[in-house]
Amino acid sequence: MSAHQRAVEQIRQSYAEIPADAAPRLAKATSNLFRFRDSGKAAKLSARDLDQVISVDPVTMTAEVQGMTTYEHLVDATLPHGLMPYVVPQLKTITLGGAVTGLGIESTSFRDGLPHESVEELEILTGDGRIVVARDDNEHRGLFRAFPNSYGTLGYALRIRIKLKPVQPYVRLTHLRFTDAAKCMLAMQEICEAMTHDGEPVDFVDGVFFDPSEMYITLGRFAERAPYTSDYTGMRIYYQSIQKRGRDWLTVRDYLWRWDTDWFWCSRAFGVQQPLVRSLMPRKWMRSDVYRKLVALDRRYGVVARVDRWRDAPVQESVIQDVETPVERGADFLEFFHSKVGMTPVWMCPLRSSSEWPLYPLETGKLYVNFGFWGLVPLPRGQFDGYYNRLIENEVHALDGHKSLYSTSFYAREQFWQLYNGDAYWPVKQAYDPNGRLLDLYDKCVRGR
């Protein structure tokens, strides 16, 4: 904790030295955001010494973690104690602070909600330069509750205390195939409500939509022993196995990172799913953060756009989003998405929030399904960038859903504050950043300043 206190003092002083006309921006080694921005007058705020696991307590089943710690490092610290965070977002370099101030999700979310729901305490550098400790039971409760989905516009998480849960060494997977989206959503709802399938407890639930006649729900159950374990960190590709195997076994660590090696299925854009390329690719490069850096380079230099122009191919729009709809409307969303956008596969992950978090107002106790889709879609002739993303935004909210703000958004200001509860946001913003040192949520997440 003494090292942590030195790091806190360093970032506090660094923040105080930033000129008043420069918007602070947290300098991170990795990012999983897809809002690429010109830095402009932004000043980098160093967080180089805030990336450690401070402690893991196997008795209280809690961990003290610095805000820039990646889930990869956190899991490496907790698994030797037979513990894991309640929700482990699917990519290794997502940071704990990022998952709490943004939103994370994974296959335990049908039971345990989103990552911030297992947080007990937050130490935050606020917009007005204070260091405060926020909990659900102290004078900073309003900040504690508004922090999720605030994306660094209220302050930065320096230290987080989270609850942990016991694990077993292996996870047994069962892939259930469906040929009808409505039946798939109904089965997902029944399994999540009962938390069982065929008389056995279920610990993990997610799924993949390949096309209207082929989709899967994957059920995971902890196990003390396994007859074998599969390895999807080399030549074999996890998402392809779902279509080929009804049953599978993974170590718990490999299960938690099953999506990371190929960034779900996005590694195919870089040729990494071609056997020859894959055989030559060092394993250490087959990671989501490497692919993310390649996307950032392309964004900077426009390589794909130049190739498309040379080929006289249609301009492509980046469609990288995670959205939630009530499970009852999930089949409607899939029908819309397949007919209007046509990108596949689509990740499906059920979630249920156990209490109210004002800036991401999901109905407490209600089952939603997150749909994740990431890639490029050719634009129809005569349409401009934003066409598909606007279609998706409109449809999601017509279905009483919500979308995460880690990627591009196109909302009008008034609509945005209605959807993301400006009535709750602005009193907290005024209390902890009265001079507006940090961007507000609309400027950061929609205007991309």
What is the model's pLDDT at position 235?
A: 94
Helical ranges in 109-162 per DSSP H: 109-112, 141-146
What is the model's pLDDT at position 70?
A: 95
Decide the pairing of beta strands 155-166 and 200-201.
unpaired
Q: How far apart are CA 420 and CA 143, in angstroms?
A: 15
What is the model's pLDDT at position 127?
A: 94
Mean of the pLDDT values across residues 321-328?
A: 96
293 pLDDT above the threshold of 90: no
Please tell me the pTM assigned to this model: 0.92
Q: Which of 266, 295, 260, 271 is nearest to 373 (CA)?
A: 266
Q: What is the DSSP letter of 344?
A: -
Encode pLDDT of 22-48 as tens digits: 888 877 666 655 555 555 556 778 777
Mean of the per-residue pLDDT values of the chain: 92
Assess whether the previous peptide bond of 345 is cis (omega < 30° from 0): yes
Taking the CB of residue 377, how many other CB atoms lie within 10 A of it?
A: 18
Look up residue 156 and give its two tokens: 């930065």
Of 20-24, 306-310, 376-380, the one with minimum mean pLDDT is 306-310
Taking a C-beta distance cutoff of 8 angstroms, is the pair 54, 1 a contact? Answer: yes
Q: How far apart are CA 71 and CA 304, in angstroms?
A: 31
Top-confidence residue, 25 or 446: 446
Residue at 284: amino acid letter:
K
Mean of the pLDDT values across residues 173-195?
A: 98
Decide the pairing of beta strands 204-211 and 346-352.
antiparallel
Encode pLDDT of 350-362 as tens digits: 999 988 999 998 9
Q: How far apart are CA 198 and CA 275, in angstroms?
A: 38
Instruction: List, by residue range, all CATH 3.30.465.10 domains of the chain.
Output: 2-167
Query: Phi and psi at residue 51, in whole multiples of 5°?
Result: -125, 35
Q: Which of 173, 170, 178 is nearest to 247 (CA)?
A: 173
Taking a C-beta distance cutoff of 8 angstroms, is the pair 410, 389 a contact? Answer: yes
Radius of gyration of the chain (CA): 21
Decide the pairing of beta strands 43-46 and 24-27.
parallel
What is the model's pLDDT at position 307?
A: 65
What is the model's pLDDT at position 26?
A: 79
What is the model's pLDDT at position 24?
A: 84
Q: Tell me the pLDDT band of 292, cut-offs 50, 70 and 90.
A: confident
Residue at 303: amino acid letter:
V
Q: Is the dihedral of CA 282, 287, 291, 292 positive or negative?
A: negative
Mean of the pLDDT values across residues 394-402?
A: 95
Q: How far apart are CA 304 and CA 84, in angstroms?
A: 39
Q: How far apart are CA 198 and CA 190, in angstroms?
A: 12
Q: Which residues contact 53 (CB under 8 A, 6 or more apart)?
A: 63, 64, 65, 66, 69, 73, 74, 77
Q: Tell me the pLDDT band of 433, cut-offs 50, 70 and 90.
A: very high
Count of alpha carbons within 13 Å of 230, Cβ hemisphere only? 20
Instruction: List, by residue range, all CATH 3.30.70 domains of the chain.
Output: 302-410
Pick the CATH number of 2-167 from 3.30.1330.40, 3.40.50.280, 3.30.465.10, 3.30.70.100: 3.30.465.10
Decide the pairing of beta strands 170-178 and 247-251.
antiparallel
Taking the CB of residue 55, how many other CB atoms lie within 10 A of it?
A: 13
Top-confidence residue, 49 or 187: 187
Q: Tell me the pLDDT band of 226, cut-offs 50, 70 and 90.
A: very high
What is the model's pLDDT at position 382?
A: 87
Mean of the pLDDT values across residues 390-406?
A: 94
Q: How far apart are CA 235 and CA 279, in angstroms?
A: 7
Look up residue 162 and give its two tokens: 């989270």
Residue at 288: amino acid letter:
S
Taking a C-beta distance cutoff of 8 angstroms, is the pair 147, 67 a contact? Answer: no
173 pLDDT above the threshold of 90: yes
Of 237-251, 277-291, 328-342, 424-438, the one with minimum mean pLDDT is 277-291
Taking a C-beta distance cutoff of 8 angstroms, is the pair 62, 84 a contact? Answer: no
CA distances from 153 to 235, 333, 431, 439, 444 (A): 42, 31, 12, 6, 8
What is the model's pLDDT at position 295?
A: 80
CA 431 distance to own-chain centroid: 28
CA 295 distance to own-chain centroid: 17
Decide the pairing of beta strands 316-326 and 402-403.
antiparallel
Helix (H, G, I), strand (E, B) or coil at 373: strand
CA distances from 359 to 126, 188, 240, 424, 441 (A): 17, 27, 36, 7, 10
Mean of the pLDDT values across residues 243-260?
A: 97
What is the model's pLDDT at position 315?
A: 82
Top-confidence residue, 384 or 29: 384
CA distances from 251 to 71, 91, 169, 258 (A): 17, 17, 6, 10
Mean of the pLDDT values across residues 411-418?
A: 94
Q: What fold does the segment set 302-410 form as a domain?
A: Alpha-Beta Plaits (3.30.70)
